[in-house]
Amino acid sequence: MKNLIIKLIALVSLFGSLAIDMPSAMAQESDANILNIINPTVSNGIQIGDVLNRTIVIEVNTPYQISKTALPMKGEVRNGIELTDITVNSSDKTKKNIVSIALRYQVFASAAKPVVMQLPKEEFTLTGGDKALSIKVPAWNFWFSPLVAEGITNAKENLQPQYKPTLIDVSAHHARFWVSLALFITGLLGLVYINADKRWLPFMNGAFAQAHRSLKKLPSNQTSEKKALAHMHHAFNNLHGKNLFANDVEQFLAAHPKFSILKTDITTFFAQSNASLFGNKHKESEQFMSGLIALSKRLRDCERGV
- The one-letter amino acid at 157: E
140 CB-near residues (< 8 Å, 6+ apart):
39, 40, 43, 54, 118, 119
Q: State residue 226 phi and psi, 5-degree precision.
A: -65, -35
The tens digit of pLDDT for each residue in 72-102 reads 889 999 989 999 999 999 887 767 888 899 9
3-class secondary-structure state, position 9: helix
Whole-Å CA distances, 23 to 31, 44, 159? 12, 42, 62
Tell me: pLDDT of 12 over 60: no
Nearest to 107 by CA among 140, 83, 128, 132: 83
Q: How confident is the model at residue 214 (pLDDT cuts 50, 70, 90)?
A: confident
Do 168 and 67 touch, CB atoms closer than 8 A?
Answer: no
Look at 183 and 197; give whichever has higher pLDDT. 183
61 CB-near residues (< 8 Å, 6+ apart):
30, 31, 32, 95, 96, 97, 129
Spell out the domain ranges in the chain: 30-145, 196-304
Q: Kindly write down the DSSP assignment for every residue of 184-245, as one continuous string.
A: HHHHHHHHHHHH---TTSTT---HHHHHHHHHHHS-SSHHHHHHHHHHHHHHHHHHHTS---
What proportion of the chain, given as a percentage, has pLDDT over 90?
A: 19
Which region among 67-76, 80-89, 165-174, 281-290 has the lowest average model confidence (pLDDT)? 281-290
The pLDDT score that the predictor gives to residue 178 is 92
Tell me: pLDDT of 275 over 90: no
The pLDDT score that the predictor gives to residue 281 is 56
Query: Radius of gyration over alpha carbons of the chain, in Å?
Result: 48
- The one-letter amino acid at 289: M
The pLDDT score that the predictor gives to residue 101 is 92
The tens digit of pLDDT for each residue in 94-116 reads 678 888 999 999 999 888 888 99
d(CA 112, CA 246): 106
Look at 212 and 306; give whichever has higher pLDDT. 212
B/e letters for 107-145, b = 16+ CB within 10 Å, e = fewer, are bebeeeeeeebebbebebebeeeeeebebebeebebebe
For CA atoms 14, 19, 20, 26, give the dihedral sign. Answer: positive
From the centroid of its chain, how far is CA 261?
A: 49
Look at 17 and 40; give whichever has higher pLDDT. 40
Which region among 102-106, 192-196, 275-279 has the lowest average model confidence (pLDDT)? 192-196
The pLDDT score that the predictor gives to residue 40 is 93
Say what angle helices 285-304 and 207-217 make with each other, to 10 degrees: 150
The 8-class DSSP code of residue 151 comes to: T
The pLDDT score that the predictor gives to residue 143 is 92
Helix residue ranges per DSSP H, 45-170: none
Reduced 3-state DSSP string for 40-79: CCCCCCECCCCEEEEEEEEEEECCCEECHHHCCCCCCEEC
Homologous superfamily in CATH for domain 30-145: Immunoglobulins (2.60.40.10)
Cβ-count burial of 289 within 10 angstroms (0-12 exposed, 13-18 middle, 19+ buried)? buried
Residue 300 CB neighbour total at 10 angstroms: 22
